Amino acid sequence: MLAHPNVVRLHEVAASKTKIYMVLEFVNGGELFDRIAMKGKLSEREGRRLFQQLIDGVSYCHGKGVYHRDLKPENVLIDRKGNIKISDFGLCALPQHLGKDGLLHTTCGSPNYIAPEVLQNRGYDGSLSDIWSCGVILYIMLIGQLPFDDRNMVVLYQKIFKGDAKIPEWLSPGAQNIIKRILEPNPMKRINMAEIKQHEWFQKDYIHVGPYDDDDEDVRLGAILPVKQKQISEAPGDKSTRQMNAFQLIGMASSLDLSGFFEEEGVSQRKIRFTSALPPKDLFNKIEVTATQSGLHVQRVHSKLKITGNCNGANNPLPFLVCVEVFELGPSLHVVELRKSHGDPAVYRQLCDRISGDLGIDKIFRMEQLFDDNLPSFDSRGATPLVAL
């Protein structure tokens, strides 16, 4: 679900009968904890830079409905360029973990970094509790020690409930202010993500880092922006599709698709998928012809098609953008995904119907049917896609 420069990437997952193998992004700069331990504390400029990256990464996760719940310097890695990578999502919460009151109820986290409302066992906002942990990390980076610490757990939790962290006067007024507003024990009075990003101290030398390849960002303010990516080559042997890892495949199942929790439109309105035995090149060519005949513009970018058009009618004032991607499930089986980022849902549905008709697709498959009918068999003695188990 997560694709952001400040979050460790999950590239692939496979499994045998006894083990699950997860291939993660290689981050070789060590933990943020080690960097702080080596230096004692960071300069305010360096601490702010890393805190800005931390907030960019955490706020992106929250936008995807993911709450980390165990943020601490040991779970923040440093890459070779000195940028942070948030890792270890083993305790994270997803939208389906919310109670009927819209809050989380599981008490978890590391004692020195846990927010007071999490300890009260009355339900808590995952975003605000993560913000508290980010504030503890900021305190450690700038001051070189924990804001709340004691060997006795009861005393430690009393300090956290009180929220009276000692902030040295030698810190700049801006740094003192943002730490105080984050380490506010009352979550209703605590500064939120939007307010953090607008804070004067945070804004200094701030360079926003956006997610990787987010098609929803291709159109802004009603204007279709030029696509600057390198167009894919049609030379023989070039890969025009990418294989799914098992988590992506499972996530496509309608019963497990989490996007409906944080998208305004229903999944069925934004994403349509169907299977085809046609080669990827033929699929792309046929879809391009259909879209062009419908008066739309098509660009080939790496392993995707981007279909754009200006809907200038009275009922269609917004630009139109659809991304088409082909995934390989097996040697002769592909999934075609059409994903709308912007535009009239009715126009999008008409385009999908015309494409599926031109490709000879009788019905749009639910992904559960693919699991039952179309997945190739695997040798259970070796590493196999997790979904096959």
Specify the CATH number for the domain of residue 132. 1.10.510.10
Handedness of CA 154, 156, 157, 162 (dihedral sign): positive
Domain that residue 350 falls in: 215-388
In this predicted structure, which of 37-51, 94-108, 358-372 has the lowest mean pLDDT? Answer: 358-372
- Residue 151's contacts (CB-CB under 8 Å, 6 or more residues apart) are none
* Domain assignment present for 4: no
- Do 96 and 228 belong to one domain? no
State the pLDDT at residue 30.
92
Angle at CA 71, nearest 5°, toward 66 and 72? Answer: 165
Q: Predicted confidence band at 164 (pLDDT cuts at 50, 70, 90)?
A: confident
Judge if 91 and 228 occupy the same domain.
no
Instruction: Please tell me whether residues 85 and 138 are part of one structural domain.
Output: yes
- Do residues 222 and 371 share a domain? yes
Would you say residue 225 lies in a domain?
Answer: yes
Do residues 219 and 179 share a domain? no
Q: What is the dihedral of CA 194, 107, 262, 89, to 10 degrees?
A: 90
**Number of domains within the chain:** 2
**Most confident segment among 93-107, 228-242, 361-375:** 93-107
Looking at the fold, whether 18 and 163 belong to one and the same domain comes out as: yes
* Those residues with Cβ within 8 angstroms of residue 241's Cβ, 6 or more apart along the chain or in another chain: 280, 303, 326, 327, 328, 334
**Based on the domain organization, do 123 and 88 belong to the same domain?**
yes
Catalytic residue from among 70, 125, 130, 218: 70
Report whether pLDDT(196) > 70.
Answer: yes
Domain boundary among 203, 229, 244: 203
Distances, alpha carbon 266 to alpha carbons 213, 261, 363, in Å: 22, 9, 19
Identify whether 178 is part of a domain. yes
pLDDT of residue 371: 45
Q: Do both 183 and 244 map to the same domain?
A: no
* pLDDT, position 180: 96
Residue 2 resides in a domain? no
Which of these three, 203, 224, 254, is where a domain ends?
Answer: 203
In a domain, 5, yes or no: no
The pair of three-digit structure tokens given for residue 331, joined into one six-digit string: 């040697």
Residue-level pLDDT at 58: 97
Query: What CATH number has the domain bearing residue 273?
Result: 3.30.310.80
252 in the same domain as 197: no
What's the confidence (pLDDT) of residue 343? 72
**87 and 233 co-located in one domain:** no
Based on the domain organization, do 40 and 189 belong to the same domain? yes
Q: What is the CA radius of gyration of the chain?
A: 24
Residue 293 lies in a domain: yes
- pLDDT, position 270: 66
For residue 121, name the pLDDT band (cuts at 50, 70, 90): confident
Q: Residue 12 carries which DSSP code?
A: E
3-16 pLDDT, tens digit per residue, is: 999 999 988 888 78
Q: Which of the listed residues 179, 203, 227 is the one where a domain comes to its end?
A: 203
Is the four-CA dihedral 294, 280, 341, 273 of positive or negative sign?
positive
The whole-number pLDDT of residue 15 equals: 79
**Domain contains 24:** yes
DSSP designation for 227:
P
Clarify whether residues 185 and 303 are in a common domain: no
Residue bearing the bigger pLDDT, 5 or 216:
5
Q: Tally Cβ neighbours within 10 Å of residue 228.
A: 6
Is 210 within a domain? no
Q: What span, in angstroms and rounded, lies between the C-alpha atoms of 48 and 26?
A: 24
Q: What is the mean pLDDT of the chain?
A: 79
Taking residues 176-201, report their average pLDDT.
96
Is 56 an active-site residue?
Answer: no
Distance CA 255, CA 234 (A): 37
Distance, in Å, from the CA atom of 253 to the CA atom of 272, rounded to the nearest integer, reads: 12
Share of the chain above pLDDT 70, in %: 74
- pLDDT computed for residue 225 by the predictor: 33
